[in-house]
Amino acid sequence: MGGLQKKKYERGSATNYITRNKARKKLQLSLADFRRLCILKGIYPHEPKHKKKVNKGSTAPRTFYLFKDIRFLLHEPIVRKFREYKVFVRKLRKAYGKAEWTGVERLRDNKPGYKLDHIIKERYPTFIDALRDIDDALSMCFLFSTFARTGKCHVQTITLCRRLTVEWMNYVVTSRSLRKVFLSIKGIYYQAEVLGQLITWLVPYQFAHDHPTDVDYRVMATFTEMYTTLFGFINFRLYQTLNLVYPPKLDSKAESELKAEHEEDYAMDSESYLEKLSALSASLARVVATAEEEENQLDLFPTEGEDQENMQAREKEQKEQEAQKRLFEGLKFFLNREVPRESLAFILRCFGAEVSWDKSLCIGGTYEVTDETITHQIVDRPDMDKQYINRYYIQPQWVFDSVNAQMRLPVEDYFLGTTLPPHLSPFVEEKDGDYVPPEKLKLMALQRGEKPVQEEEDEEEEDEEEEEEDDEEEDDVDDEELTEEKNLKKMEGTRAQGKTLAVKVTPGKVKPWETGSVGNKVRLEQEEKAEEKRLAIMMMKKKEKYLYDKIMFGKKRTTREVNKLTAKRKAHEDASKSQKKQKKAKKQ
Amino acid sequence: MRTVNLESQKNGTMSKAKEKSAKKRVVEEDDDQLPIFDKDVTEKKAGEEDDADLSDSEESVFSGLEDSESDSHDEEEDAEEGDDEEDDDDAVILDEILTKSSGVETATEPPATDKNTPTDIRNTVGNIPMEWYQDYPHIGYNLDGKKIFKPIRNKDELDEFLDKMENPDYWRTVHDKTTASDIRLSDEQVDLVHRLQKGQFGDVNFNEYEPSVDFFTNEVMIHPVTNRPQDKRSFIPSLIEKEKVSKLVHAIKMGWIKPRKPKETTPQYYDLWAKEDPNAILGRHKMHVPAPKMRLPGHEESYNPPPEYLLTEEERMAWEQQDAEDRKLPFLPQKHSCLRAVPAFSRFIHERFERCLDLYLCPRQRKMRVNVNPEDLIPKLPKPKDLQPFPTTMSLVYIGHSSLVRSISASPTGQWLVSGSDDCTVRFWEVNTGRCMKTLEVGGAVKSVAWNPNPAVCLVAVCFESTVLLLNPGLGDRLVVSSTDQLITSYEPPEEDKEQAVTWALSEGPEHDNGHRLTLTHPKAVKQVVWHGKGDYLASVMPDNSSNLQVLIHQVSKRRTQNPFRKNKGLVQCVSFHPLRPYFFVATQRYVRVYNLIKQELTKKLMTNCKWISSMAIHPGGDNLICGSYDCRLAWFDLDLSTKPYKMLRHHKKALRGVAYHKHYPLFASGADDGSVIICHGMVYNDLLQNPLIVPVKVLKGHQITHDLGVLDVTFHPTQPWVFSSGADATIRLFT
């Protein structure tokens, strides 16, 4: 038995991973610098498959980085910049201590900085990669752009974030790529489809932030630093694809109009320009002045069989998308001052509507309330004093629901002062077996072109109808368990009746399955099949059995949840109905 | 003290008093302003003295006029005459005062032997921690180099308290550590302390608000202060500076020095991906795991969700009591009547921050999500229909026993069934009708019954307690019955009677009429009897962990008994004969041992992987063996293949009690405590390449579970695909 004895943990997965502290020592960085580097370079810990092996036999909880990742960080030029900055801070402190003010000034002038361009290029070799990863960047920039310009982070960062988000919104408006919007309790979710990528972001409601104390803003700032760089390059590229001028400029016509109005309100020209851009009411200047974006149609190729079907489906989809893009085209909206102007203007402009608002609210309003051509006025107050006859006064949810439904919903439910129908999330895609709220079912029926149930009939009829509907729904949604329960209940009921009543012998009826007809056979077959399955399950291997049980458990849980939701809904509807009846009784 | 002082004062010289009074007037004029002195009216005469003293001391301290001889002289006199104690106090507390007075004292009156006037006891040890003197009787040295002794008795808490209560001057008494003595502060000193506390000057006479006199006058004078003319160098330009400037100018001209540019703060963007390489691998390596996207919101996150998504009161309570990590939803669904009413989300920044943390701190791992259709997991088995015949329905129930039926056995013809029960009876049944043909009372709970497999012999072995009874039930063909009787009676005892472990006894009289033929009395309780296939040999099991006498093999024709094993290999559970070859199977708790009876050696040891074997059955071909165990498993062995089970079947939910093989059909059955009998199809092919097919074909249910016991024994009909099962509910059931 020759040869050296193999030492443990000198090959294999133990050498592929490195703990955080060791990595830090290898890079000779402080923890804060290491963190920054990891954030900027997108290095994250990995969970090894065999933790104990990697941890050299210990089971202590440690975070592991891939050794390759750390080696890759060794050659990062930005590490040197970090060190330079450290030296700069030291020198500055010294100069302050000695009260050498000229020295301080000189040092400040030569403050070392760094650029993240190469890191962005390295992390995202292609543009699509970058676009795919932009969700977090968008949410973060939108959050930072709503921060107050005091404390917490640099003012430059906030203005930069604001600028970038405005550019993004302008791009989305121009490219008309918004797909879904959702009013949640956290903020407003938007989903856009940019170059085939679905991008979702969350914008908080316009309120002052109550800054929490247990949040490390340095981490957030580092992320934002990276995100703004990424975001800027993406914006540049996106503007290029649409032949727009970057940084964005307003159309010369629109600009001249705007200039005439509000020039004196702003101290700085740049500030006013950003405001004008963020008003989203004017179109942007293009590099090449084209009259209209030409419609790019799918070329038709002679295809066969499945390909043809696919092609047709694709064509149909595109048509739908085109239709959605022009959802609000030809409509003229006016926003009241109590509605969130920016988000509504953004959405409406994305779908081709004309929007305006009160002059005192923001610059960029193109027409007044008194304009007779306004078709919709969006209001969010219980009542209005002065109403025009030739326009709808609707609540803002109509816009959001219409966008999600890809059609102009009937405005009746959204009139001034009415109780709004529930606002559903457009991001939920129900699979069979999941719970579908009845509103969604109605909406789907509407989309299919079916007419909604007439509700202007007598109330009683309505009630009846509702009941019928309820029954139908129950039938639809109830699954085996519920029906079983029902049967049991029925049986119990009959039993109870039997107890109370005197025992009677009634001529029995022959049940269909006892006659030996088709029903019997079917039932037998079913039973046989069920038994076969049971026997087969008995023969399953242990591992597969475990997996099978797990899957079945999950399925059962979902059905339980669905049942719970339906029961809740039913209880709620019953309660509301009884309330209605009570009211009616009172009236009479 | 005071009175003495006054007296001494009266007796004192008038000349001094005159001098003093002159001074006093001056002092009093100042002092009247101070409130503390106004109050001090209780002792006027003493007050005068005090005033004098104070003025003096104060002068000495603050005016800086210490050197005046006359003053010092006066004062010394005063001190001597007057307040001895006060003087002492002064001396110790305020150093300056002390230096002066004591110095004078020592100079003028060195003896100082007066009892009332303690001399100045200044400690000369310096500024050291006084703890160093803790262990000594003295506390330091005075100016003369004499030891200063500590007071004999230190004041304790009580003294302190009494002092506090009784001594009216307690508040102005101060303890001096260096001399370990208490010092009473004089009025002036107290006043001084007050003044210092208020932040005023110590000197009463000092006027803080004197009109200031400018150091330099603010009036501009028309004449210069000095008459010196200005230097020449202040008129002519400096050469050195000129050189420096010209250098800089030259550098600027040459373009070496550039004016400072304002720094560009706004980032510059350009087309970063102008030359993008679509084939470029992501910078680092293939192990990159992209971060998962944020979860998209569901209906419950809406500002106006459908009513069913809102939490009820109980759910809300439960939500609030849960830990933040356990919550299914990280927020409470809320309904707002209009968009205007929606407040800011308080945890927005938190959530963003948590996302950031997740992005750079959370270890990533690729998890393979099994996306299988559960139906695909179910193995495809041949349809039970194709594997018929096997018993499917319960057709007969044999009722008659009053306690659990431990064991059953069918006659080789298949016409009769024998059962033994805990109610101490053995019953014989007709299989086809379910009629009880015969009931025999025996002397104990019947543990096991076995019908002789030889169709030419009609004998049934019954075991209860420590007896094995051979019965001739007298059922069936009369010829067979009589031939059996003949067989038993034809026995001739051998010449030399060997000592045997079992006594054989022939039954006579009424017992004979009942069918009893032979009684084998064992030394211990017998649990199981089993026949050899030929019907001549009979094995009985007496489970006992402590001896080697656990298994006995009897030969009926020769009435001989032998103990095949010399050694105890564990608690024997059951035994069985090989149907064709001279092998003998012994199942202990965990193993099945296969012995060759001719060679008298161990052939095989089967590991069952069970905890405790309950029953065993051998395929009529002798190649396969099944073992039921109390841990719900059934082990299927291929004896040619391996000593480990080919298949473990975990079909039953509870302990298996009985297993059986069918004589002709590829069927085996297992009965368990869950009250079910499971029939499996176990086909072994002659082609060695084809795997044996073991498929459960039917779950038969019928027995009720009593006392946690279900089915106790199963046995197949010798010719038909029928199975009998006996249960704890005192019934025997036939499934056809």
Minimum-distance CB partner of B374 among A135, A422, A552: A552
CA distance B83 to B73: 16
Q: Quick one: pLDDT at residue B714?
A: 92
- Residue A481 binned pLDDT confidence (cut-offs 50, 70, 90): very low
Minimum-distance CB partner of B299 among A63, A424, A566: A424
Minimum-distance CB partner of B353 among A215, A395, A532: A215
Mean pLDDT confidence for B324-344: 88
- In order, the DSSP letters of A400-451 are HHHHHHTS---GGGGBTTPPPPPPPPTT--PPTTS---HHHHHHHHHHHTPP
Reduced to 3 states (helix: H, G, I; strand: E, B; else coil), residue A31 is helix
CA distance B150 to A219: 68
Q: Quick one: pLDDT at residue B179?
A: 79
Mean pLDDT confidence for A28-45: 92
CB pairs under 8 A between A and B: 275
Burial of A183 (C-beta count, 10 Å sphere; 0-12/13-18/19+): buried
Q: With 90 as the cut, is the pLDDT of residue A499 above it?
A: no
As given in the structure block, the two tokens for residue A125 are 């070799």
Distance from the A502 Cα atom to the nearest Cα atom in chain B, whole angstroms: 33
Q: Quick one: pLDDT at residue A484?
A: 52
Across the interface, whether the CB atoms of A422 and B305 are under 8 A apart is answered: yes
Across the interface, whether the CB atoms of B304 and A395 are under 8 A apart is answered: no
The torsion region of residue B654 among left (phi > 0), alpha (psi -120 to 50) and beta comes to beta
Q: Which residues of B touch A121 (CB under 8 A)?
A: 272-273
Pairing of strands A64-66, A178-183: unpaired
- Residue A223 binned pLDDT confidence (cut-offs 50, 70, 90): very high
CA distance A162 to A234: 15
Give the pTM: 0.65
Mean pLDDT confidence for A471-486: 47
First-to-last C-alpha distance (Å) of chain B: 132
- Residue A222 binned pLDDT confidence (cut-offs 50, 70, 90): very high
A6 Cβ contact partners less than 8 Å away, ≥ 6 residues apart? none
Nearest CA in chain B to A394: B338
Distance from the A468 Cα atom to the nearest Cα atom in chain B, whole angstroms: 20
Q: Quick one: pLDDT at residue A204?
A: 94
Q: Answer whether the bond into residue B389 is a cis peptide, omega within 30°.
A: yes
Q: Which residues of A touch B370 (CB under 8 A)?
A: 547
Q: Quick one: pLDDT at residue A45?
A: 92
B653 touches chain A (CB under 8 A): no
Cα dihedral B133, B134, B135, B136, rounded to 10, equals 40
| Residue A358 CA: distances (Å) to CA of A332, A336, A339 | 14, 7, 11
pLDDT tens digits, B354-387: 999 999 999 988 888 778 888 888 888 888 888 8
Interface of B with A in 270-309 (CB under 8 A): 270-273, 276-278, 280-285, 287, 289-291, 293-294, 296-299, 301-309
Query: pLDDT exceeding 70 applies to what percent of chain A?
Result: 81
Which amino acid is present at B507?
Answer: S
For residue A574, count other CB atoms closer than 10 A to its CB. 11
Q: Which residues of B touch A35 (CB under 8 A)?
A: 360
A425 Cβ contact partners less than 8 Å away, ≥ 6 residues apart? A182, A184, B296, B297, B298, B299, B301, B302
CA distance B182 to B118: 13
Q: Quick one: pLDDT at residue A553?
A: 93
pLDDT tens digits, B148-192: 888 777 778 888 888 888 888 888 888 887 777 888 888 989 999
Nearest CA in chain B to A545: B377
Mean pLDDT confidence for B283-307: 84
CA distance B488 to A14: 79
Q: With 60 as the cut, is the pLDDT of residue B115 above it?
A: no
Q: With 60 as the cut, is the pLDDT of residue A376 above it?
A: yes
Among B153, B140, B206, B207, which residue's Cα sits nearest to residue B182?
Answer: B153
Q: What is the complex's ipTM, to 2 decimals?
A: 0.84
pLDDT tens digits, B527-554: 999 998 888 888 999 888 888 888 888 8
B220 touches chain A (CB under 8 A): no
pLDDT tens digits, A541-578: 888 889 899 999 999 999 999 999 999 999 999 999 99
Query: pLDDT exceeding 90 applies to what percent of chain B?
Result: 14
Pair B458, B476: CB distance under 8 Å: yes
Q: Quick one: pLDDT at residue A270?
A: 65
Q: With 80 as the cut, is the pLDDT of residue A171 above it?
A: yes
For residue B411, count other CB atoms closer than 10 A to its CB. 21
Q: How much is the mean pLDDT over chain A? A: 82
Mean pLDDT confidence for B635-656: 87
Pair B713, B730: CB distance under 8 Å: no
Pairing of strands A332-335, A376-378: parallel
Q: With 90 as the cut, is the pLDDT of residue B501 above it?
A: no
At residue B658, what are phi and psi to the nearest 5 degrees? -150, 145
Q: Quick one: pLDDT at residue B121?
A: 67
Mean pLDDT confidence for B649-674: 90
Across the interface, whether the CB atoms of B309 and A565 are under 8 A apart is answered: yes
Q: Quick one: pLDDT at residue A314?
A: 82
Minimum-distance CB partner of A117 among B272, B290, B294: B272
Long-range contacts of B423-431 (CB under 8 A, 24+ apart): B423/B730, B424/B464, B425/B401, B426/B460, B426/B462, B426/B471, B427/B398, B427/B400, B427/B401, B428/B473, B428/B475, B429/B398, B429/B400, B429/B732, B431/B396, B431/B717, B431/B734
Question: Which of B264, B270, B275, B302 is best to mutate for the A interface (most A CBs within 10 A)?
Answer: B302
Mean pLDDT confidence for A418-428: 90
As given in the structure block, the two tokens for residue B313 are 């009161």
**Residue recorded with tokens 């016991």:** B709
Q: Which residue has the higher pLDDT, B240 or A451?
A: B240
Please give the DSSP secondary-structure letter assigned to residue A214.
S
Q: With 70 as the cut, is the pLDDT of residue B635 above it?
A: yes
B368 touches chain A (CB under 8 A): no
As given in the structure block, the two tokens for residue A334 are 């006016």
Minimum-distance CB partner of A427 among B270, B297, B651: B297
pLDDT tens digits, B569-583: 888 889 999 888 889
Q: Quick one: pLDDT at residue A24?
A: 93
Look at the alpha carbons of A386, A389, A393, A399 in this order and tell me if their dihedral is positive or negative.
Answer: negative
B377 touches chain A (CB under 8 A): yes
Across the interface, whether the CB atoms of A187 and B348 are under 8 A apart is answered: yes
Q: Quick one: pLDDT at residue B109?
A: 39
Pair A376, A348: CB distance under 8 Å: no
